[in-house]
Amino acid sequence: MRHLIIGSGPAGVVAAETLRKADPVADITLLCGEPEPPYSRMAIPYLLKGDIAEAGTHLRKDADHYATQRIQVVHGRARSVDTTGRTVDLGGGQRLPYDRLLIATGSRPSRESIPGIDLPGVRSCWTLEDARAILALAQAKPGIRIVQMGAGFVGCIIMEGLLSRGVDLTILVRSGYMVRRMMNPTASGLLQQWCQAKGVKIFTRTQPAGLSAADGVLQVALADGRVLPADIYLSAVGVDPNLDFLAGSGINLGQGIVVDEHLQSSVPGVYAAGDVAESRDCLTGKRQLNAIQPNAVEQGRIAALNMAGRPTAFKGSFVFNVLTTLGLVSSSFGEWEGQPGGDSAEVLDAARYRYLNLQFQGDRLIGANSVGFTDHVGALRGLIEGRVRLGRWKQRLMEDPTQIMQVYVAGVHSVA
C-alpha cells in the first residue's frame, strides 16, 4: 500500500507516524511544500522573540526521525491531483503515485484586496521564510516601523516577538475589537488596554485604503485620509485553506475539503486533515473549518488509522484557543458567545486584567472566555466536550465561576 501525504505540518507528520505504527510495511511518502524540514508554525512567535533557534520550530528534533520511521520525505509542491489515475503532479514532469492520499495542506494567510498589496515590504507572518525576512529587516534597521493590519489570533500572538526586536508597532483593526472571533467585547477590551499600556498603537475601526511606495518606504493610506509610513506592512487578516491545486480533481470542496466522519473526502481513498478539512463541530453539529493545532494532530491521527484500514470515527472537534498577547494570557472555548436562552456567569477584575466568563445551556457548560486565568483551564475543554451535566454544581459556578476546577473534581469523584 502506497500512502501519500501532501503537507508536512502537524497534521501531516502525525498522520505519517500513525500510519507507520498501524502498518509496518506500507510505503509512506510525506510531501513538504516548503524548503524546510517539517516544522510547526505555532513556534514562530518564539523564534521571533529569540527564545528558540530555527531548529526549535522543527516538529521532530532528531534529524534521522523520518528515516528511522521509514517515512520518505520529498520536497515539492502539489500542482494538481488526478484522482482517476491516482497520481499527484509536482510539475516538471514529476508525478507521485498513491493508493491512499491524505491532503494536509493547511491554510495560508488571506490578503485584503487593496491597491498596492503586492508591493515589496508587504508580508505575512506565517512561514519560517516570513519570520526570517522580518528578523533580517529588524536587525538591519533598528526601530523599523511595522504597520500590522489585523489583531486576530495570530496578529496578537506575534506582537511580543516583534516588540522584543525593538520595532515601532502600529496595529490597525477593522472592527471595534481585537480577536473578535474568539473574545467577547469585555475580554477584547482588556487585551486592547493591556497592549496600549505596553506602547502599542492600536487604531480600531480603521482600515487601509491603499498602499504605495516612496523612497523605499511604504505609505499606508487610511480610509480617513491619514498616511502612515511603514518599513513593513504586516497583513494578518485571517487564513484560507490551501485548496487551489484541487480544482478539477473532483473532490467536493466547501469552505475546505468536505470530509465524512472517517475524514474521507467525496473521493474514496482521498482523506483530509487539519486546517484544510471541513468537518463536524461536535457542539453545533455543523460542518466547519477548525484551524487550531490540537485539531490538526487529532485529525492527522484519525485519518491515518482509516487509511491504514482501521475504521475510526472522528468524534468532531470544537474551537478552543489559548493566546498570549505581550504576556497577557487569554483563552477561548466553544460557544463563548452563548446561546439564546442560555445562562452566563462572569467575574471581572479589570485593574488586574483578570476575567472569566462562562456560558451555559441548561446545566451544561458550552463556552468560556478568560483573561489572566491559566490554572486548570483544560478542565473547561473537558466539561464542554464531555457535555457534562453539572446538576447542582452549575449554581456554584453561577455564583463563582472561578470554582471551575473544584466543580470538575467534584464531578469526577462524585462528591455529594
Closest contact distance (angstroms) between CB of 142 and ligand FAD is 23
Q: Which does 406 bind (CB under 5 to 8 A by kind): ligand FAD, another protein, none?
A: another protein
Q: Is 350 in the site for another protein (CB under 8 A)?
A: no
DSSP state of 55: G
Q: Is 169 in the site for ligand FAD (CB under 6 A)?
A: no
Closest contact distance (angstroms) between CB of 153 and another protein is 12
With b for 16 or more beta-carbon neighbours within 10 A and e for fewer, the 238-265 pattern comes to bbbbbbebbeebebebeebbbbeeebbb
Instruction: Say which residues have a Cβ less than 8 Å from residue 65's Cβ, sequence separation at least 6.
Output: none
Q: Is 388 in the site for another protein (CB under 8 A)?
A: yes
Q: Is 11 in the site for ligand FAD (CB under 6 A)?
A: yes
Which residue type is seen at 265? Answer: S
Query: At how many degrees (to 10) do helices 378-385 and 404-412 cross?
Result: 50
Q: Rounded distance, CA 276 to CA 94, Å?
A: 24
Q: Is 246 in the site for ligand FAD (CB under 6 A)?
A: no
Residue of 149, 393, 397, 401 that binds another protein (CB under 8 A): 393
Q: Which does 82 bind (CB under 5 to 8 A by kind): another protein, ligand FAD, none?
A: none
Q: Rounded distance, CA 194 to CA 178, Å?
A: 12
Altogether, the residues listed in the chain come to a count of 416
305, 254, 294: which is closest to 277 by C-alpha?
Answer: 254
Window 141-160: contact mask with ligand FAD (x via CB under 6 A): -------------x--xx--
Q: Is 34 in the site for ligand FAD (CB under 6 A)?
A: yes
Residue of 89, 275, 298, 385 that binds ligand FAD (CB under 6 A): 275
Q: Which does 60 bind (CB under 5 to 8 A by kind): ligand FAD, another protein, none?
A: another protein
Of residues 101 through 120, those in contact with ligand FAD by CB under 6 A are 104-107
Which residue type is seen at 168? Answer: D
Helix (H, G, I), strand (E, B) or coil at 413: coil
Q: Which does 34 bind (CB under 5 to 8 A by kind): another protein, ligand FAD, none?
A: ligand FAD
Q: Rounded distance, CA 281 to CA 146, Å?
A: 36
According to DSSP, the residues that pair with 240 across neighbouring strands are 108
390, 382, 396, 391: which is closest to 345 by C-alpha?
Answer: 396
Residue of 16, 28, 33, 167 that binds ligand FAD (CB under 6 A): 33
Q: Is 399 in the site for another protein (CB under 8 A)?
A: no
Closest contact distance (angstroms) between CB of 60 and ligand FAD is 14
Contacting range for ligand FAD; rule: CB under 6 A; set: 168-176, 209-217, 260-268, 292-300? 292-300
Q: Rounded distance, CA 261 to CA 243, Å?
A: 20
Cell of 261: 466522519
Q: Are 311 and 161 in contact (CB under 8 A)?
A: no
Q: Left if phi > 0, otherwise alpha if psi is -120 to 50, otherwise beta: which for 170? A: beta
Positions touching ligand FAD (CB under 6 A) are: 6-12, 31-34, 41-42, 44-45, 77-78, 104-107, 125-126, 154, 157-158, 242, 245, 274-275, 291-293, 296, 321
Binding-site ranges for another protein (CB under 8 A): 10, 14, 40-43, 45-46, 51-52, 56-61, 293-294, 297-298, 301, 320-322, 324, 329, 331, 333, 363, 374-383, 385-393, 405-406, 408-416
